[in-house]
């Protein structure tokens, strides 16, 4: 009796299987068909959406079910969703996440359907009926796919409660419910809760299933995925390898799930910085996918993407582009034009063009991606925010900071709506905005956003998560730029300690961390210590990266900077030339960063007083930026100013003024780091001073000083430098103010403060017979700093070398990042050396007695009283 109605129902159902890759000669297809026909008699095959629609229209009175491939589903579902006798549509795919998002355009209708069904079932069924649990799960899944994860948790937990009441405690449906709740918490960034629910599911699977069951392997993968999100890659690897062992025993050697398992392990090794092992596992996965899947299957495209990502991480951008484009061709054939995977593919290609300096191409692909996401996703989906962030990053690299902020803020608004307040992606968003303010030289705003990032990271991440180290490093960079080197070192060392715990000893992020700490030592004049850390960084790169990776070039540049600061110019040139060779190999011919090595070399030749070679290097630098950067880019201004300074030192003041004015015309009319503009004003002032046009010199010195006073802390060494090296253009009180700042350095002992009066030899080189009247202002600054640093070296917070930092590798994002200590650079990586300075009244009284104060500069320099009076009035009015 029980069999007969069941048979009758099965005969009245129509099942339509729609897949463009159906091949009945294939064993998988044969097995699937056998399973379907064991349930229903009528299974019709279609290879196009049109055939499916035709069959449904020809059988309007039969209750129908449609099983569609993910590739055809997006076109098919909108066309058939409203048909009266269509009972359900199933998307048949191995990777649900690749296909679930396009369905979000129908989610409101789906939600309406589920709620209607819920009202009917609630009246007809007991409240603990398993069908109600399924409806709750379905509604929760819609919310989860729309990124409403907190609401999804409520529905999943209601379904779980029903199942726990209705089913035995070890039933696999209860495990499934635990896993659903865990997935929602994982999407929310609540990793401890996610782990709790995944482990509950896993305990049930261990009891209910055989030890080599594939579902048990997938459960291991879920737990490993949470550890991956937490940055615990060794634990990730442990669970992924457990999963792989089960798949190897339970599945055929060419099963797609086995390929996916290899790919997950590849991802773990990639995050650990072991790119050779990652590539090995990705290629194993790819070999399986090539055998198991049709040639245009989306998962095969994903396999190409993974391999491309490794080549990208290795700096092999041509190979990365080759694999990303292979993936993209598959997606274009296999997926609808507005599929999210196609948008992700556009992003991958865009990031290669961005890395190679082809910003227009990068924007083209990022904008294609953004348009696809806008059509495929709800307006507040996190993936749309990520897309805006990609576009913002290109504008930031182009120094178009207003556009960068515009897109980062669009992204941030979405994150605030879509994510919980302590989600790690929200922290990253704050950090991105902080980066723009940092590039603009607005360090207080940068610090504000970086501290918001750190606050969330502290709450959301484990204490040894690598992303927390990034937050510490970015704050360290701001303090470094502000000249607060003790604070910079404090945050760099916090980051480094995390990296030492969380990452393998040869991870590239650890190398970057050594570089960051080395830059602090370089900035404070402890060059032997700086070299020690730079060489530690280089040793890691030598073990982990291909020989022409761009990070090698940056590492060589850091070492060159240290030798240059030590006055070992031949060694400096040697390492800068090494960096130059790598840049030439690693970057395309039209990349703007090819100019950096010429900028570094030019500064060394300038210090060597080889002005012809300095000029040649700076002109090559300018030529590259003129060809590769937008008109009026801030890079051009820096190159113009460098060339102008060489002409000044060669005594060609008219040419010097021409180039400095070219620089200032750009800097006054585009967004740039104000400190770069300040440097150009000072260079102009120095040129006019040597032309004996003291009034005009004073005007430009004052402009430069005004910017530095607004943008730098009151005790920043750059303020002392400008006041000192240009003291001959200021009155007595201003000159004393410079010496007061220098004397009040808290690290100097009372016995050495009196020696600072010797700075007059540096401040007034024209008074010293050993100096020429025309002098390199950068050498003046460095000599002042070196005196201070010899008296007050920075102390490490620990006796052991500090730890790593995972800010991006030490690639130059600005020509100001020149690793040279001079007034034409406002480097984000290396600032002039000096510890924190706190002016005190006692220092002033000690310095300014009648016996010790120098003669007023108005008498010594013979300036016009009117000029001096004008300056005094402007100074008091300020």
DSSP letter string over 702-734? HHHHHHHHHHS-TT-HHHHHHHHHTGGGS-HHH
Residue 727 in contact with residue 712, Cβ under 8 Å? Answer: no
What radius of gyration do the chain's Cα atoms show? 33
**349, 365 in Cβ contact below 8 A?**
yes
Whose CA is closest to 323, among 356, 296, 350, 348? 348
Q: Grade residue 72 by pLDDT with cuts at 50, 70 and 90.
A: low
Mean pLDDT within 258-270: 95
CA dihedral 50, 51, 54, 55 (to 10 degrees): -150
- Each residue's pLDDT tens digit, 495-541: 999 999 999 999 999 999 999 999 999 988 899 999 999 999 999 99
Query: How far from 450 is each of 15, 367, 465, CA to CA, in Å?
Result: 56, 27, 17
**Average confidence (pLDDT) over 74-84:** 61
* Model pLDDT, residue 688: 93
Tokens of 22: 């159906």
- Rounded distance between C-alpha atoms, residue 683 and residue 679, angstroms: 6
Report d(CA 788, CA 782) in Å as an integer. Answer: 10
Q: Is the pTM of this model over 0.85?
A: no
Point out the least confidently predicted range of 222-231, 462-471, 723-732.
723-732
Q: According to the model, what pLDDT value does residue 455 have? A: 96
- Domains within the chain, CATH numbers bracketed: 3-92 (3.40.1010), 293-420 (1.25.40.10), 421-502 (1.25.40.10), 576-877 (1.25.40.10)
The per-residue pLDDT for 482 is: 86
Residue 420 DSSP class: -
Higher pLDDT among residues 861 and 481, named by residue: 481
SS (H, E, C) 240-304: HHHHHHHHHHHCCCCCHHHHHHHHHHHHHHHHCCCHHHHHHHHHHHHHHHHHHCCCCCHHHHHHH
pLDDT above 90: residue 762: no
* pLDDT of 95 higher than 50: yes
State the pLDDT at residue 93: 61
- pLDDT reading at 342 higher than 50: yes
- Helix (DSSP H) and strand (DSSP E) numbers for the chain: 42, 4
Classify residue 56 by burial, with Cβ atoms within 10 Å: 0-12, 13-18, 19+.
buried
Fill in the DSSP letter of residue 745: B
Least confidently predicted of 156-170, 208-222, 711-725 = 711-725
- The more confident residue out of 158 and 28 is 158
Q: Which of 71-80, 340-349, 591-600 has the lowest mean pLDDT?
A: 71-80
The residues, ordered by sequence, that sit 6+ positions from 479 with a Cβ below 8 Å of its Cβ are 485, 487, 488, 491
Alpha carbons within 13 A on the beta-carbon side of 830: 32
Looking only at the bridges linking them, the beta strands covering 13-18 and 42-46 are parallel
Q: Residue 771: pLDDT band by 50, 70, 90 thresholds?
A: very low
Q: Give the C-alpha distances (Å, rounded to integers) separating 62 from 12, 733, 817.
A: 7, 97, 71
Query: Residue 90 pairs with which residues in a beta bridge?
Result: 67
Contact 480, 774 (CB under 8 A): no
């Amino acid at each position: 009796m029980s069999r007969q109605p069941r048979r009758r129902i099965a005969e009245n159902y129509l099942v339509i299987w729609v897949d463009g890759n159906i091949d009945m000669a294939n064993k998988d297809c044969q097995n699937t068909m056998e399973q379907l026909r064991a349930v229903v008699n009528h299974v019709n095959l279609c290879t196009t959406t049109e055939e499916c629609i035709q069959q449904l229209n020809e059988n309007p009175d039969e209750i129908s079910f449609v099983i569609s491939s993910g590739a055809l589903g997006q076109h098919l579902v909108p066309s058939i969703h409203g048909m009266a006798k269509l009972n359900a549509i199933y998307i048949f795919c191995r990777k649900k996440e690749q296909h679930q998002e396009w369905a979000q355009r129908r989610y409101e209708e789906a939600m309406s359907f589920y709620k209607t069904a819920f009202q009917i079932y609630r009246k007809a069924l007991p409240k603990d009926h398993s069908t109600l649990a399924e409806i709750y799960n379905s509604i929760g899944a819609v919310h989860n796919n729309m990124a409403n994860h907190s609401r999804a948790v409520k529905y999943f937990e209601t379904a779980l409660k029903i199942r726990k009441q209705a089913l035995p405690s070890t039933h696999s449906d209860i495990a499934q419910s635990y896993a659903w709740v865990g997935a929602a918490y994982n999407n929310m960034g609540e990793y401890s809760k996610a782990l709790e629910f995944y482990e509950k599911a896993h305990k049930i699977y261990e009891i209910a299933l055989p030890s080599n069951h594939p579902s048990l392997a997938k459960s291991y993968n879920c737990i490993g995925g949470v550890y991956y999100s937490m940055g615990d890659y060794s634990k990730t690897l442990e669970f992924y390898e457990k999963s792989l062992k089960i798949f190897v025993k339970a599945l055929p050697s060419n099963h797609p799930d086995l390929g996916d398992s290899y790919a997950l392990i590849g991802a773990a090794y990639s995050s650990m910085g072991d790119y050779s092992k990652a590539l090995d596992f990705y290629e194993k996965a790819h070999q399986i996918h090539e055998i198991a899947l049709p040639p245009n299957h989306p998962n095969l495209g994903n396999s190409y993407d993974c391999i491309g990502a490794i080549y990208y991480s290795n700096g092999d951008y041509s190979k990365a582009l080759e694999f990303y484009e292979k993936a993209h061709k598959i997606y274009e054939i296999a997926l609808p034009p507005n599929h999210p995977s196609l948008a992700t593919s556009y992003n991958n290609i865009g990031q290669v063009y961005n890395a190679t300096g082809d910003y227009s191409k990068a924007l083209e692909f990022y904008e294609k991606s953004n348009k696809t996401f806008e059509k495929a996703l709800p307006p507040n989906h996190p993936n749309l925010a990520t897309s805006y962030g990609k576009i913002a990053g290109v504008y930031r690299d182009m120094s178009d900071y207003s556009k960068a902020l515009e897109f980062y803020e669009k992204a941030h608004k979405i994150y605030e709506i879509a994510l919980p307040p302590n989600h790690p992606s929200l922290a990253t968003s704050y950090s991105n905005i902080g980066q723009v303010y940092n590039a603009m030289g607005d360090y207080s705003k940068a610090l504000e956003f970086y501290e918001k990032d750190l606050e969330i990271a502290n709450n959301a991440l484990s204490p040894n998560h690598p992303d927390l180290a990034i937050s510490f490093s970015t704050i360290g960079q701001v303090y470094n730029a502000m000249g607060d080197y003790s604070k910079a070192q404090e945050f760099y060392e916090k980051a480094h300690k995390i990296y030492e715990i969380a990452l393998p000893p040869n991870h590239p992020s650890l190398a970057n961390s050594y570089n960051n700490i080395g830059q602090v030592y370089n900035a404070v004049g402890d060059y032997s210590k700086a070299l020690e850390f730079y060489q530690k960084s280089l040793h890691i790169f030598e073990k982990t990266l291909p020989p022409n990776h761009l990070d090698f070039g940056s590492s060589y540049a850091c070492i060159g900077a240290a030798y240059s600061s030590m006055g070992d110019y031949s060694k400096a040139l040697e390492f800068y030339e090494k960096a130059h060779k790598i840049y030439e190999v690693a970057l395309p011919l039209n990349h703007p960063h090819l100019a950096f090595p010429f900028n570094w070399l030019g500064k060394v030749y300038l210090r060597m007083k080889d002005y012809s070679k300095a000029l040649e290097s700076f002109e090559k630098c300018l030529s590259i930026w003129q060809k590769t950067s937008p008109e009026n880019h801030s890079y051009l201004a820096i190159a113009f100013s460098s060339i102008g300074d060489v002409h000044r030192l060669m005594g060609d003041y008219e040419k010097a003024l021409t180039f400095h004015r070219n620089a200032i015309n750009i800097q006054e009319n585009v967004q740039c780091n104000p400190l770069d503009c300040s440097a150009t004003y000072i260079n102009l002032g120095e040129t006019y001073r040597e032309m004996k046009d003291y009034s005009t010199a004073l005007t430009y010195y004052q402009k430069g000083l005004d910017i530095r006073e607004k943008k730098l802390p009151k005790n920043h060494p750059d303020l002392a430098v400008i006041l000192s090296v240009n003291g001959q253009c200021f009155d007595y009180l201003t000159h004393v103010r410079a010496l007061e700042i220098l004397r009040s350095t808290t690290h100097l002992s009372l016995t050495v403060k009196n020696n600072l009066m010797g700075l007059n030899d540096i401040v007034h080189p024209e008074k010293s017979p050993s100096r020429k009247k025309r002098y390199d202002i950068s050498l003046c600054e460095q000599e002042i700093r070196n005196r201070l640093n010899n008296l007050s070296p920075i102390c490490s917070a620990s006796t052991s070398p500090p730890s790593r930092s995972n800010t991006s590798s030490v690639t130059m994002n600005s020509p100001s990042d020149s690793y040279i200590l001079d007034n034409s650079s406002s480097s984000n990586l290396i600032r002039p050396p000096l510890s924190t300075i706190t002016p005190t009244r006692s220092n002033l009284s000690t310095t300014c007695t009648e016996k010790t104060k120098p003669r007023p500069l108005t008498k010594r320099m013979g300036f016009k009283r009117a000029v001096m009076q004008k300056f005094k009035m402007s100074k008091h009015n300020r």
